[in-house]
Structure 1
């Protein structure tokens, strides 16, 4: 691991909230570019080699945000490193339907293990770059594309509403075509 990568990991682990770090409060100056790339399939690479430690990918994903300039950054209170993302930084690996308080909800599990309920704050949208497969909007300007298995499961659960395939989660309806 290079010194830059080790420094980000060390800085991130200091008194860190691993579930919901306050990225919105951290605005350090740009430290530069770091040779990290997230491929379209969700694989993270550092200096051309896959990052094979899932814990490290989860840590870095928790520090990731997309800013108004359209670029992606790993951010800590003291550092901000620009990285490259080919399509979407995260992947939805599973979609589960559940009933909670009498409401039908769709829960998406990301390739980092994090789960998010599909709702108005985390809506589905269709990604034209990959044939209108659904993706979900996440916090901090991030998005996650559905894996093939998650997409097929979602499509299988769709209902015909006004002649369009749609899925419901909470009070929201999301078109799939």
Structure 2
């Protein structure tokens, strides 16, 4: 991968910022307000593959590292460090919810970059429906304004767990109810 400059800018700077607090949780990207430094040729494809300059980023550790400094601002998705902000492209949502398990009263999703998301009032499950195809498009909030597309097999699990409440298939997690769609509407 190309790295800009020797002063920690570009991919080198993003990588260094993400490594500053290993094992201590996510970097505080919400507190960082650096100048916008332009675009970087990173695309998160609809299928969740992270691309750099047209090639897949093959190291899962590097994708995980970059995912920790990802933020969505009013002007789009960006990788943020204390000193720079680089815009990237996201074709759908930045993450995929690829597994689901029930832990006590919580539904816990795991994303393709290793985040665990315990759905609840602050991290809702939302199912939009395409007005033409009527295809459900489920997602779960991961953090701030970053969402994960719920993979089809995981959505099937949710539907199997659902109960009918007020004519809607509904799941509950941490005391919150999340409608998946109308009961009997031909959901998967």
- Normalised TM-score (structure 1): 0.91
Q: How do 1:6-155 residues align onto structure 2 when only pairs under 5 Å count?
A: 6-15=12-21, 19-69=25-75, 71-99=76-104, 104-128=105-129, 131-155=135-159
Is the Cα–Cα contact under 8 Å of residues 50 and 56 in structure 2 kept in the other structure? yes
Is the Cα–Cα contact under 8 Å of residues 133 and 151 in structure 1 kept in the other structure? no
Q: CA RMSD in A?
A: 1.6
CA distance in 2, matches of 1:160, 1:114: 30
How much has 1:135 moved relative to structure 2?
0.2
Is the Cα–Cα contact under 8 Å of residues 31 and 80 in structure 1 kept in the other structure? yes
| Runs (4+) off by over 6 Å | none
Q: Which has the larger radius of gyration?
A: 2
Is the Cα–Cα contact under 8 Å of residues 95 and 108 in structure 1 kept in the other structure? yes
CA distance in 2, matches of 1:41, 1:68: 23
How much has 1:52 moved relative to structure 2?
0.9
Matched, 1:2 2:8: no
**Which secondary structure does the structure 2 equivalent of 1:27 belong to?**
coil
- Out of 152, 157, 161, the position equivalent to 2:161 is 157
**Which secondary structure does the structure 1 equivalent of 2:30 belong to?**
helix
Q: How many residues align?
A: 172
CA distance in 1, matches of 2:149, 2:142: 11
How much has 1:15 moved relative to structure 2?
4.5
Bigger proportion of residues as helix:
1
CA distance in 1, matches of 2:29, 2:23: 10
How much has 1:149 moved relative to structure 2?
1.4
CA distance in 2, matches of 1:151, 1:47: 32
CA distance in 1, matches of 2:11, 2:80: 12
How much has 1:110 moved relative to structure 2?
0.6
